[in-house]
Amino acid sequence: MLEEYDLGATQLFDINLYRNPTLPLKDNPYAIVNCLEAKECLVPDQSPVRAVRGTEYWRCSPPNLPNLTVRESASEGVDLWYDPLVRKQIFFSDRLARRLIEEGFTGINLFLLKTI
């Protein structure tokens, strides 16, 4: 399903899982996403982030992630990206996030963020 969206340079790698050493799982739904697209979308002065000492990066603790503020313009272009200022978070376009929810995607928490 992800391949239906604009992922830019981001790579998807299927994971081959086995029930035992000789019996692979059928219809294996697992993959690794190597997110290679970057967009500056975070608005630090309107988000609950703190500077990482000695670097130019920002950090947000997990309970505060739903309170991040991002630029609305970031939703244009690729549908999956990271922000170079908060490199440990992955952002999804609204259209991709809604599709993931509709499809019952699990394994990651999705939050609707405030945009300006």
> What pLDDT is stored for residue 4 in this prediction?
92
Q: Tell me the C-alpha distance between 26 and 29, whole Å.
A: 9
Q: How far apart are CA 61 and CA 48, in angstroms?
A: 8
pLDDT of residue 79: 96
Residue 114 scores a pLDDT above 80 = yes
pLDDT band at 30 (very low <50, low <70, confident <90, very high): confident
- Residue 36: pLDDT band (50, 70, 90) is very high
Residue type, 95: R
Model confidence band, residue 42 (pLDDT cutoffs 50, 70, 90):
very high
For residue 41, the model assigns a pLDDT of 93
Positive or negative: CA dihedral 46, 78, 75, 66 = negative
| pLDDT per residue as tens digits for the range 59-78 | 888 888 899 999 999 889 99
Q: Return all residues near 34 (Cβ < 8 A) that are at least 6 apart.
A: 10, 11, 12, 13
| pTM for the structure as a whole | 0.82
Structure tokens at 109: 């928490």
- For 70-108, the pLDDT digits (tens) are 999 988 999 999 999 887 889 999 999 999 999 888 878
pLDDT of 82 reads: 94
Count Cβ atoms below 10 Å from residue 104 Cβ, excluding itself: 6
Strands 114-115 and 69-70: parallel
